[in-house]
Amino acid sequence: MSGHHAMPAGDRPGIGPPLWLLAELTYRCPLQCPYCSNPLDFAQTQQELTTEEWVRVLRQGREMGAAQLGFSGGEPLVRQDLPELIAEARQLGYYTNLITSGLGLTATKVNAFRDAGLDHIQVSFQASDPELNNAVAGSRKAYDQKLAMARAVKEAGYPMVLNFVIHRHNIHQMEDIISLCERLGADYVELATCQYYGWAFENREGLMPSKAQLEKAEAEVNSYRKRLTSSGSAMKLIFVTPDYYEERPKACMNGWGSLFLTVAPDGTALPCHSARLLPIEFPNIRESSLHSIWYDSPGFNHYRGDSWMPEPCRSCDEKDKDFGGCRCQAYLLTGNADNADPVCGKSPHHDRILAARKAADHATAGLEELTYRNADNSRLFFRG
C-alpha cells in the first residue's frame, strides 16, 4: 500500500491502526500447490471460527480503521457463509477482495457475490497451459475451470486481477502467461515469485529459479511492458522478484504490527500470514478483542520498533528502511527470529542465501519430486 501522507496515528503513540485485514476463512482447499504458504501442520487445525465470530472480527476491525479486507484461505469458497460475510463486510464499508483458486466458483456465485457487494475477485493460476497448471495444482480439472471463472469475473464487471506464482518450472512461460492475461482482458497481472515459507520452504530446492532463469524472465516482462505501454494498454504487470537474489531484505509487511492483521481459520491473530511458524505466542480473537490484540498483546508488540534488534541491525543506518527484514525468514534460516534477515549482505548468515542460489544453479528435481500440500503430507509433518 502506498500513501500520499505519513500514516495516521492510532490509539497508542507510535502505533497506527491496522488498515489491512486478512481473513483466512479456512485451510481447506481442493488444490495441493507445493508452494502453499499455509502452515505445514494445517490438517491439525481444530474448529474454524463461526459466522458470528467472523462478523465480530469484521466489525471490530472496521471500527479500528481497517479499510482493505481480503478473504483468503485455503480456498475461501468452501465456506458456505461466504455470501453473508461479503454482505456484512460491504455494509461496514470495507473494500472486499476475494482471493481464490477459482475451484468451486460458478458464474451464478460470481454474480451473487457482486450483488452482495464484493469489490474484486483475484483468480490464481499455476501456469499458462493446462498440462503444467494441473500438474502443479495437483488437480486434473483445475485449468479449464480457472479459465471459465476468469471470464465470468470479467463479464460480471469486476476489475480482473490474475495471479501467477512463479517458480523454476513455469518461469520460462512469462510471455505466454502475459499474453494469456491480455487475451482474458486482465487489468492487473501479478507475477509473484515464490516466497519460501510454509510448503514452499520445504520445497525450496525444487522451486527456486536460477539467476539465469530470473534474468531472462525479467527481460521478457520488461519488454512486454514496453509493448503494452506503446499500444496504450492499461493492463498493469506486477513482477515480484524473489528476495533470495537481493542484497537487502524487503521491508516485510511494512513493519511488524504496522498495517497488517491476519486472522487465521481458528481465530489466531497474526502480524503476517506466515508468522504462525515463529516460536511466539499469538492471541486468539475468541479470547480478546481485536483492539487489545493489536495494541496490547505481547505477540503484536514483540517486534514493533527497533529495540529488539541485535547487531548488525541495531547500529545499521538502514534499519528504518527494512526493519531488519522478515522475521520468518530469519527464523527459518538461522534458527533465531531476532537475527537480521539473511538476505542482507551484512548478515553473518548470508552464506545460507548464497548456498541456496548455488543449489538453484544445479537443481534437477522434477515436479513429481515436490511435496504436495495435502492432508496426508500435513499429518506427516505434524508427527515430525
Partner 1 sequence: MAVGMKRIPKLRPGFRFQWEPAQNAYVLLYPEGMVRLNDSAGAVLKEVDGQRNVADIVALLEQQFPDAGSLSEDVSDFLKDAEQQHWILFT
Among 39, 74, 209, 267, binds ligand SF4 (CB under 6 A): 74
**Alpha carbons 283 and 297: distance in angstroms, whole number:** 7
Nearest-10 Cα torsion for 154, 160, 163, 169: 50
Nearest distance in Å: CB 199, ligand SF4: 7
Rounded to the nearest angstrom, the gap between the alpha carbon of residue 264 and the centroid of all alpha carbons in its chain is 13
CA-to-CA dists, residue 81 to 11, 31, 84, 85, 113, angstroms: 32, 21, 5, 6, 11
Give the one entry of ligand SF4, partner 1, none that residue 234 binds, where binding means its C-beta sits below a cut-off of 5 to 8 angstroms depending on kind.
Answer: partner 1
178 counts as binding partner 1 under rule CB under 8 A = no
Give min distance, CB of 372 to ligand SF4, in A.
9
Distance CA 140, CA 273 (A): 28
Task: Extract the C-alpha cell encoding 214.
Answer: 530470473
First to last CA, the chain: 38
Instruction: State how far the Cα of 142 lies from the Cα of 125, in Å rounded to an integer.
Output: 9
119 binds partner 1 (CB under 8 A): yes
Among 65, 83, 104, 130, binds partner 1 (CB under 8 A): 65
Indicate left, alpha or beta for 370 from its phi (over 0: left) and psi (-120 to 50: alpha). beta
Q: With contact defined as beta carbons under 8 Å apart, do 255 and 1 qualify?
A: no
Contacting residue, 271, 283, 299, 325, with ligand SF4 by CB under 6 A: 325
Which distant-in-sequence residues (6+ apart) come within 8 Å of 307 by Cβ? none
Residue of the chain from 154, 250, 319, 349 that contacts ligand SF4 (CB under 6 A): 319
Give yes or no for residue 98 binding ligand SF4 (CB under 6 A): no
Residue 336 beta carbon to partner 1: minimum distance, rounded to whole angstroms: 32
Residue closer to partner 1 (CB basis): 11 or 311? 11
- For residue 41, the one-letter residue type is D
The answer to the question of residue 157 lying near partner 1 (CB under 8 A) is yes
Q: Which of 70, 242, 267, 325 binds partner 1 (CB under 8 A)?
A: 70
- Residue 115 contacts partner 1 per CB under 8 A: no
Residue 73 partner contact from partner 1, ligand SF4, none using kind-dependent CB cut-offs of 5 to 8 Å = ligand SF4
Q: 58, 344, 360, 370: which one contacts ligand SF4 (CB under 6 A)?
A: 344
How does 40-50 read in b/e, with b if 16+ C-beta sit within 10 Å?
A: bbbbebeebbe
Total of chain residues touching ligand SF4, rule CB under 6 A: 25
User: Which of residues 15, 26, 38, 260 is near ligand SF4 by CB under 6 A?
Assistant: 38
Which one of residues 44, 147, 151, 188 is an interface residue with partner 1 (CB under 8 A)? 188
265 binds partner 1 (CB under 8 A): no
Minimal CA–CA distance to 56: which of 295, 298, 300, 291? Answer: 291
> For residue 211, is it left (φ>0), alpha (ψ between -120 and 50) or beta?
alpha
Query: How is residue 241 written as a grid cell?
Result: 522478484
211, containing H or E segment = helix 211-230
Query: CB of 333: closest distance to ligand SF4 in angstroms?
Result: 13
Residue pair 252/364 in contact by the 8 Å Cβ criterion: no
CB of 125 to ligand SF4, least distance (A): 10
Q: How far apart are CA 319 and CA 248, in angstroms?
A: 11
359 contact, one of ligand SF4, partner 1, none, CB 5-8 Å limit per kind: none
Work out whether 236 is an interface residue with partner 1 (CB under 8 A): yes
Residues of this chain that bind partner 1 (CB under 8 A): 1-5, 7-8, 10, 17, 19-20, 64-65, 67-68, 70, 93, 95, 97, 119-120, 122, 157-159, 161, 187-188, 234, 236
Residues of this chain that bind ligand SF4 (CB under 6 A): 29, 31-33, 36, 38, 73-75, 101, 248-249, 312-313, 316, 318-319, 322, 324-325, 340-341, 344, 346, 373
